[in-house]
Chain A
Amino acid sequence: MDNYVVGYGEHNQATLTGGETQSARDDLAPLGDPLGWPSTPGSTRTSSHVLEQVLHHHIVQAHKGLLPPSINPYGLKRVLDVHCQTGAWAIDLARTYPEIHVIGIDTDPALIEIARHNTEISQMKHVLFYEYRAPSALLTSGAASPLKESDPASTREHRQSMGPIKGGDPTRGEGWAAAGVRFPIADQSCDFVHLFLYSPLFQSSEWPFFLGECKRVLKIGGSINLVSLAWGPGSGEAYSRLIMLMEQLLHKRGYSFSEQSGPISPGVFLCHLLREAGFAHVMYTLFPVDFGGWNNSLGRACCQLLLRELRMTRSLLLQYQLIDDKTFEDLLWQQQQEIEASHFCTTAALISTVATKQ
């Protein structure tokens, strides 16, 4: 239990990485692109960060709030934001409800450093961010751990093979659930777990372990909220072609929930997964998200984020021979034109799933 960053009971402020926080936020310059995007002309660290904030605000507006209406924010003491990225949601929650102690975890140290930097700017002490990967101490601890591989080398290899869809850094985001990495959070220590996802995040076989971890850290009676963005119909042909390409790629890489290539977003399968994981009172709510129209520059900015994500998949698409380089480049260019067109109309749905641990 010593390995947990956040322990039992009221030791809310317990941290193992306090010293590192200090040094990390002093110098942000050497960091690479926080979202792991390759540097392309016009793509800077700042703009990626800003785009993520824009997406956060757009999503919260569509979701009609930070929390689902069934959750009473004044009953929450400790909230965990999994895959917190640069901490937009966690910081927003901590600012809105100062009584809540918010913890954000992510596998990417660069993102965590930015999140800590943001916390520092807003001078908030009740929101903490932790990097979360597979230190060997964690991997070997706990007899009850469902972990099969305790050798760090083999784990790394495993993670690379199961790897992320982005083809970049294998330690980033995707893949860690496959390696059986547990959250650095004690059992039954949180009232609420939140996850926002706009990409599949895990392979279909990884979800049970991940949801098991969410359940482990939740108190009895605590709730989980999975908010999934599912891309809907869009007016551009390149947009449709790119979505289809992503579906095929994700299918080939084991992120699909059916034998055919299916939806990119795991949103519609979350109810089933939560029920399988033993959660009770599984419910979902749908919200439309608009990215187009004449009065929606935030929406168009969010689509730029999608475009950046797509750009990342180039090497994998080529590797699986789903498309050739020239055609892909043309599609991206065409999609860029579509986003800028006046008749741009692209939609999505938010599937907000809530369940309780009993």
Chain B
Amino acid sequence: MKHPSRTESVISPLFANLDALTSRGSELIINAQLHQQMLQVQGGRLCPEIIPINRMKRVLDLGCGAGEWIFDLAKRYPQLHIYGIDIFEDALNQAKMRRNIGCLHQVELRQMDLLHPLPIPDRYLDLVHIRRCASFITQPMWPHILGECVRILKPRGWLVLVEIEIGDISSPACQAIHRATLAALAKLGRTMDPTGLTFGAAQHLYGMLLQTPLDEVTYNLSTIDLGFMSGTSGRVFLTEILRQASFMKPVIIQQGILNATSFDELLAQAGRELLAPDLCGWAIIISAYGRQPERDGSNISM
């Protein structure tokens, strides 16, 4: 059993200055740690078990960020040619640097807006993977993006969508800040759950895939531990939530969800509550996936 007091001493410097967390360096650390945690709860698998990556040739990761998923995949499957696309230059530069250091010539990275048609031929890829991109994709964009994915997938190729949704947190202030962020996003029409209870993308992945021509559509669930049993990683994840909330502070205030004083108070309170020895919380990962039919759906006349 991990003793909570030991983890406290490790994590508390992180909370010494919440502003420091908005810096780029810590964002990369947090994303890397989150990737490791997601990998762990999914039994070390980078994709649902049913997908035979070892027999694949070309894989695309949309919204690859700093390439956490890509580099793990490249290490395990040297035969793969992997493409990574992201709109954010900072993260991509980081990924390019890592690719060059690791001499992973099999990885190709490109900066691109997902809204535009992808410069990839039809029926070219064995697997398209989109993970944790929902906050950058609005609801009307999804059909376009999924349509593009279906276009570029080979017959019998797989499309995998992975999103996280936060569940309950034993820190009331942290939960309140998370809810305030969601409420602000909901008012702007940026969430897929109009109530603001959840962000809403994860639970809609399955339904969205069912509307594409893909076959064998299904989904898997896993839980992420956000509490003391996870050691420091739960706290790191929750810190990421607070960091995103600080980023959203002007919007939260502008939308009239909270005023500046109460936001700051809640944030400080959340920082203290995350140090509780019996912190408990969970998030859920939904991986929805489907398979291109034998004959490309777009060629079949209805």
Q: Does A275 contact B (CB under 8 A)?
A: yes
From the candidates A230, A271, A292, A342, name the one contacting B227 in the complex (CB within 8 A): A271
Q: What's the Cα separation between A284 and B279 when bound, in Å?
A: 11
CB distance A281 to B167 under 8 Å? Answer: no
Chain A residues with CB under 8 Å of B219's CB are: 293, 345
CB distance from B112 to the nearest CB of A (A): 29
Chain A residues with CB under 8 Å of B292's CB are: none
CB distance from A317 to the nearest CB of B (A): 16
From the candidates A293, A295, A349, name the one contacting B282 in the complex (CB within 8 A): A349
Q: What's the Cα separation between A230 and B165 when bound, in Å?
A: 13
CB distance A284 to B280 under 8 Å? Answer: yes
Q: Which of A322-358 touch B at CB < 8 Å? A: 342-343, 345-347, 349, 351
CB distance A240 to B176 under 8 Å? Answer: no
Chain A residues with CB under 8 Å of B169's CB are: 268
Contact count A vs B, C-beta below 8 Å:
122
Q: Does A258 contact B (CB under 8 A)?
A: yes
From the candidates A232, A258, A265, A282, name the one contacting B176 in the complex (CB within 8 A): A258
Q: Does A267 contact B (CB under 8 A)?
A: yes
From the candidates A240, A281, A294, name the one contacting B197 in the complex (CB within 8 A): A240
Q: Does A272 contact B (CB under 8 A)?
A: yes
CB distance B194 to A347 under 8 Å? Answer: no
From the candidates B179, B221, B225, name the one contacting A290 in the complex (CB within 8 A): B221
CB distance from B225 to the nearest CB of A (A): 6
Q: Could you tell me the dominant secondary structure of chain B's interface residues?
A: mixed
Chain A residues with CB under 8 Å of B218's CB are: 293-295
Q: Does A283 contact B (CB under 8 A)?
A: yes
From the candidates A232, A271, A281, A343, name the one contacting B280 in the complex (CB within 8 A): A271
Once A284-B227, A288-B222, A288-B223 are accepted as A-B contacts, the answer to whether A268 and B165 lie under 8 Å apart by CB is: no
Q: Which of B186-240 touch A at CB < 8 Å? A: 193-195, 197-198, 200, 202-207, 210, 217-219, 221-223, 225, 227-229
Q: What's the Cα separation between A236 and B223 when bound, in Å?
A: 20
By the criterion of a CB under 8 Å from any partner CB, how many residues of chain B are at the interface? 42
CB distance A268 to B168 under 8 Å? Answer: yes
CB distance A257 to B200 under 8 Å? Answer: no
Once A232-B165, A260-B176, A345-B206 are accepted as A-B contacts, the answer to whether A281 and B170 lie under 8 Å apart by CB is: no
CB distance B165 to A258 under 8 Å? Answer: no
From the candidates A244, A260, A284, A294, name the one contacting B229 in the complex (CB within 8 A): A284
Q: Does A237 contact B (CB under 8 A)?
A: yes
CB distance B195 to A241 under 8 Å? Answer: yes
Once A235-B207, A288-B222, A347-B286 are accepted as A-B contacts, the answer to whether A263 and B195 lie under 8 Å apart by CB is: no
Q: What's the Cα separation between A257 and B278 when bound, in Å?
A: 14
Nearest A residue (CB) for B1: A283
Q: Does B250 contact A (CB under 8 A)?
A: no
CB distance from A339 to the nearest CB of B (A): 14
> Which range holds the interface residue count of chain A?
35 or more
Q: Does A259 contact B (CB under 8 A)?
A: yes
Q: Does A208 contact B (CB under 8 A)?
A: no
Q: Does B109 contact A (CB under 8 A)?
A: no
CB distance from A347 to the nearest CB of B (A): 5
CB distance from B257 to the nearest CB of A (A): 12
CB distance from B281 to the nearest CB of A (A): 6
Q: Does A262 contact B (CB under 8 A)?
A: yes
Binary contact readout A247-259 vs B (1 if CB under 8 angstroms, 0 otherwise) = 0000000000111
Once A230-B168, A287-B223 are accepted as A-B contacts, the answer to whether A275 and B198 lie under 8 Å apart by CB is: no
Q: What's the Cα separation between A351 and B282 when bound, in Å?
A: 9
Q: Could you tell me the dominant secondary structure of chain A's interface residues?
A: mixed
Chain B residues with CB under 8 Å of A8's CB are: none
Once A233-B284, A237-B194, A267-B168 are accepted as A-B contacts, the answer to whether A345 and B176 lie under 8 Å apart by CB is: no
Q: What's the Cα separation between A260 and B168 when bound, in Å?
A: 13
Q: Does B276 contact A (CB under 8 A)?
A: yes
Once A262-B175, A345-B207, A347-B203 are accepted as A-B contacts, the answer to whether A269 and B223 lie under 8 Å apart by CB is: no
Q: Does B172 contact A (CB under 8 A)?
A: yes
Q: What's the Cα separation between A269 and B170 when bound, in Å?
A: 6
Chain B residues with CB under 8 Å of A16's CB are: none
Nearest A residue (CB) for B217: A294
Q: Does A243 contact B (CB under 8 A)?
A: yes
Chain B residues with CB under 8 Å of A271's CB are: 170, 227-228, 278, 280
CB distance A268 to B170 under 8 Å? Answer: yes
Once A233-B284, A275-B278, A288-B284 are accepted as A-B contacts, the answer to whether A346 and B203 lie under 8 Å apart by CB is: yes
Q: What's the Cα separation between A40 and B100 when bound, in Å?
A: 67
CB distance A259 to B172 under 8 Å? Answer: yes
Q: Does A286 contact B (CB under 8 A)?
A: yes
Chain B residues with CB under 8 Å of A283's CB are: 1, 229
CB distance A237 to B221 under 8 Å? Answer: no
12 contacts between A and B (CB under 8 A): A232-B167, A233-B203, A234-B203, A235-B206, A237-B195, A257-B170, A259-B172, A260-B172, A260-B179, A272-B280, A282-B278, A286-B225
A residues neighboring B (CB under 8 Å): 230, 232-235, 237, 240-241, 243-244, 257-260, 262-263, 265, 267-272, 275, 281-290, 292-295, 342-343, 345-347, 349, 351
B residues neighboring A (CB under 8 Å): 1, 165, 167-170, 172, 175-176, 179, 193-195, 197-198, 200, 202-207, 210, 217-219, 221-223, 225, 227-229, 276-278, 280-282, 284, 286, 288
